[in-house]
Amino acid sequence: MESLKLNAQNISQFAGRVAVPKYDRASVKAGIVHIGIGGFHRSHQAYYIHQLLEKYNALDWGICGVGLREADRTIYNMLKKQDYLYTLIVQHPNGNIESEVIGSLNNFLLAVDTPNLVIEKMAHPDTKIVSLTITEGGYNFNSTTGLFNFENPDVQHELQYPNEPKTVYGFITSALRKRQANGLPPFTVLSCDNIQHNGDMTRKMFLAFAKKQDPELAKWMEEKVGFPNSMVDRITPVTSATDIEYLQKKYNLNDEWPVVCEPFIQWVVEDNFSNGRPALEKLGVQFVSDVTPYEKMKIRLLNAGHSVLGIPGALHGHATINACMEDKVFATFMRQFMDKEVTPILDAVEGIDLEKYKDSLEERFANPNIKDSVSRICAESAAKLPKFLIPTLQENLAKGGSFEFATLILAAWCYYSDKGINENMEPLEIIDVMKNELHQAAKETPKDSLSFLKQSEIFGDLIENEPFTKKYVEMVQLIYGGESIRKLMHEMI
């Protein structure tokens, strides 16, 4: 039997077999404009809002998606065809699967096609929050100086032509300008990316940009716009053909781009909103006055833990994070990294038992039904490691703590960036906006062992720390000498 396409017209035909929205989607207003509609937004924020609509009929808080890049066209086309509906497939470790059609997204604008519509939508009185998942690298932030990168040509363009925005900075300031002119309160700018102090950093970047472009507006923003810090968490692997087939076979449902995720979900947010917020606390979202200890714990353990498995995993030939966890050497190495290098630098987090938190991370990583690819984890490591791993290494060097686990990961990353093949001679695709720079720097290693570390926008001044470079050189030479990464890990645990 031919499967039935997921869209508003067909939705009632799926009811009873798979959970579908019960609220009246036509009455939902977009209180949130979200930039960056990827898998993560769809498994996390859009799912929370869906539940709020479902359980509390919070009709003011629907989501209008925005894609800023040409690369967003594929998801835009797909969601539009499906009337912005998609299926969320929750994969439990024991094999149970729950599928639910999510209806909280009710519009999508592609900025490259209709820039003015995007600005109008954000400037609309209904819009109360503009949230972001634009990835760690999307904030146009120089990680060495901590400053906004004014050299970016798109930014240069929008400074010169404020009515022709291209980046998130140009769009949001244009919309805020409109709101100010119309006497409307500003929206909250809510960053949902894995960056420590994501709200503070976003604020700093926006104010730097606005001060150059429109100092009057900058003043208003400084006084009025809330930029809450937030910690977000739900492991969301890349959707595979098997997931699409699963829905077809099981429910006769044809969804071109469902989202798969783990059962775990967490969101901790600072209660600092400029224009109201949805009552997400009803669904277990934690509103706190200081998110710092939560985000540090999560980024340094979970996100770094992923990289600590994924980079050597890719070299060794493990395809997924759960395959890494099935390998005792990898699992033990990761736990020891957490125990010896991360735990000592973390502050106590109210209400959280760190040992239990780490145990739960091990269980989540080991979930055999998530099949989170190491390639997803390794992608954009140049943006991730300076936020997830390198600060831990620096803090340990400063206080005489253990740093060899993190060091091995950097040495492995150098080899990975240089060779583009794993230890079984299979090709490794390097997905990184800094791919060429990484490769250039790494391939000099046989002549100059420290060459990779000279990329100061990634490594800061690590190259000047002797105990570290000594260890790094030792390790990089062993790896280049043909020692297997797994053996090196084994010797350390």
| Residues forming the site for ligand CS2 (CB under 6 A) | 194, 233-235, 302-303, 306, 377, 384
CA-wise closest residue to 268 among 259, 257, 280 = 280
Bridge partners, residue 288, by sequence: 270
Residue 351: C-alpha distances to residues 333, 356, 357, 405 (Å):
27, 11, 11, 28
Q: What is the C-alpha to C-alpha distance for residues 105 and 86, in angstroms, rounded to an integer?
A: 9
Contact yes or no for 231/267 (Cβ under 8 A): yes
Q: Which is nearer to ligand CS2, 255 or 372 (CB)?
A: 372
* Residue 177 or 376 with smaller CB distance to ligand CS2: 376
- For residue 427, the Cα-to-chain-centroid distance in whole angstroms is 25
Tokens of 328: 């005792």
Paired tokens of 333: 């190495």
Angstrom distance (rounded) from CA 370 to CA 34:
26
CB atoms within 10 A of CB 97: 13
CB closer to ligand CS2, 190 vs 302:
302
Residue nearest to ligand CS2 (CB): 306
18 vs 46 by CB, closer to ligand CS2: 46
Decide whether 213 or 236 has the Cβ nearer to ligand CS2. 236
CB of 113 or CB of 359, closer to ligand CS2? 359
CB 388, min distance to ligand CS2, A:
7
β-pairing, 129-132 with 188-191? parallel
- Minimal distance, residue 306 CB to ligand CS2, in Å: 4
Q: Which residues pair with 191 in a beta bridge?
A: 132
Comparing CB distances to ligand CS2, the nearer of 214 and 233 is: 233
Q: Shortest gap between Cβ of 42 and ligand CS2 (angstroms)?
A: 13
Between residues 106 and 135, which has the closer beta carbon with respect to ligand CS2?
Answer: 135
Q: How far apart are CA 460 and CA 83, in angstroms?
A: 46
Nearer to ligand CS2 by Cβ, of 306 and 486: the residue is 306
Instruction: Return the number of the residue (31 or 39) whose C-beta is nearest ligand CS2.
Output: 39
- Whole-number minimum distance, CB 463 to ligand CS2, in Å? 24
Nearer to ligand CS2 by Cβ, of 377 and 442: the residue is 377
Cβ at position 432, least distance to ligand CS2 in Å: 12
Query: Where do we find the tokens 């998942």?
Result: 133
Minimum distance from residue 194 beta carbon to ligand CS2 (Å): 5
Q: Which two tokens stand for residue 62?
A: 């629907």
Q: Are 112 and 126 in contact (CB under 8 A)?
A: no
CB of 85 closer than 8 Å to CB of 7: yes
Instruction: Please report how close the Cβ of residue 205 comes to ligand CS2 at its closest, in angstroms.
Output: 21
Q: Which of 402, 372, 361, 409 is nearest to 388 (CA)?
A: 409
- Closest separation between CB of residue 172 and ligand CS2, Å? 23
Q: How far is the CB of 235 from ligand CS2 (least distance, A)?
A: 4
Residue written as token pair 């991730």? 384
Note whether 462 and 393 are within 8 A (CB): yes
CB of 377 to ligand CS2, least distance (A): 5
Shortest approach of ligand CS2 to residue 448 CB, angstroms?
29
375 or 440: whose CB is closer to ligand CS2? 375
Smaller CB distance to ligand CS2: residue 41 or 124? 41
Annotate 129-164 with b (16+ C-beta within 10 A) or e (fewer).
Answer: bbbbbbbbbbbbbebeeeebeeeeeebeebeeeeee
Minimum distance, C-beta of residue 378 to ligand CS2, in the bound complex (Å): 8
